[in-house]
């Protein structure tokens, strides 16, 4: 069994993970739309928050490996840390891709107004990359899985709020509106607005570009620490 296959198997072993990976994405499909805000059904804004939670749940499995000494044993094994890292991240990304396809495809079948489902799917995929990279960087700072997850949950709620996923950015004080652009959630929210209202192609390319820039930065941080 490869590291990739083992990582997939481990991801579904925990019952709490099963809720995050299956039930919650399906539930997001059935949440209603609003006439004013958000521009997409509520479930798809909350799905962005869910991606962040799922990413930290998955990445925490690697934190468990560090605590159990698995990462240290790689030093004497015929497997490099880089190989271990990308195989795990690839497995987690496959799971997130499935969730994105489930949420968008399910919404189309259910009859939700998603305007441009393919553009929305691509946006969620790019944000999933960013979210997973953020989770990798985050767990590299901690030695305890529970502490890492609880603190991350609090931060997710904060950046989701300031980024415009929970309430319109326009309702916030001017200083928070300017501050919002530093959060990946702001670019996800802007991307969903572009999907619903349309706009210049350069606008959505900028959004994807910013999310990918965050991804690279977080991957570098998480990889340098080597979770060890």
Give mean pLDDT in consecutive 10-residue pieces for the chain, a chain of 228 residues: 83 76 87 83 93 92 80 67 86 95 95 95 98 94 86 94 90 89 96 94 97 96 69
Give, as one character, the DSSP assignment of residue 19: I
Task: Identify the pLDDT of residue 110.
Answer: 94
pTM of the predicted model as reported, rounded to 2 decimal places: 0.92
Instruction: Report the distance separating Cα 213 and Cα 153, nearest Å.
Output: 23
E strands, the chain, where?
none
Residue 91's domain comprises: 3-224
Cα–Cα distances in Å, from 205 out to 33, 102, 130, 177?
A: 26, 24, 15, 21
Give CA–CA dist 181/190, Å, rounded.
10
pLDDT at residue 189, as a whole number: 95
CB atoms within 10 A of CB 15: 7
Residue 37: Cβ-neighbour burial (10 angstroms; 0-12, 13-18, 19+): middle
Q: How many domains does the chain have?
A: 1
Residue 228: the pLDDT is 46
Predicted local distance difference test score (pLDDT) of residue 75: 60
Rounded to whole angstroms, the Cα distance separating 75 from 227 reads 13
CA-nearest of 186, 183, 188 to 127 is 188
156 touches 185 (CB < 8 A):
no
CA distance 188 to 134: 14
């Amino acid at each position: 069994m490869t590291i990739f296959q083992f990582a997939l198997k481990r991801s579904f072993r925990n019952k709490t993970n099963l809720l995050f990976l299956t039930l919650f994405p399906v539930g997001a499909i059935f949440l209603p739309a609003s006439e004013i805000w958000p521009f997409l059904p509520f479930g798809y804004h909350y799905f962005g928050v869910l991606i962040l939670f799922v990413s930290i749940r998955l990445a925490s499995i690697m934190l468990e490996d560090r605590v159990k000494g698995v990462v240290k044993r790689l030093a004497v094994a015929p497997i490099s840390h880089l190989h271990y890292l990308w195989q795990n991240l690839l497995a987690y990304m496959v799971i997130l891709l499935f969730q994105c396809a489930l949420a968008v495809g399910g919404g189309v079948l259910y009859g939700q107004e998603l305007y441009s489902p393919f553009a929305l799917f691509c946006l969620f995929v790019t944000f999933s990359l960013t979210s997973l990279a953020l989770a990798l960087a985050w767990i590299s700072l901690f030695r305890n899985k529970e502490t890492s997850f609880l603190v991350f949950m609090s931060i997710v709620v904060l950046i989701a709020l300031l980024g415009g996923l929970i309430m319109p950015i326009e309702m916030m004080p001017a200083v928070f509106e300017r501050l919002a652009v530093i959060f990946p959630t702001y670019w996800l929210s802007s991307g969903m607005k572009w999907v619903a209202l349309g706009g210049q192609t350069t606008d959505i390319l900028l959004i994807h570009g910013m999310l990918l820039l965050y991804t690279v930065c977080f991957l570098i941080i998480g990889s340098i620490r080597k979770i060890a």
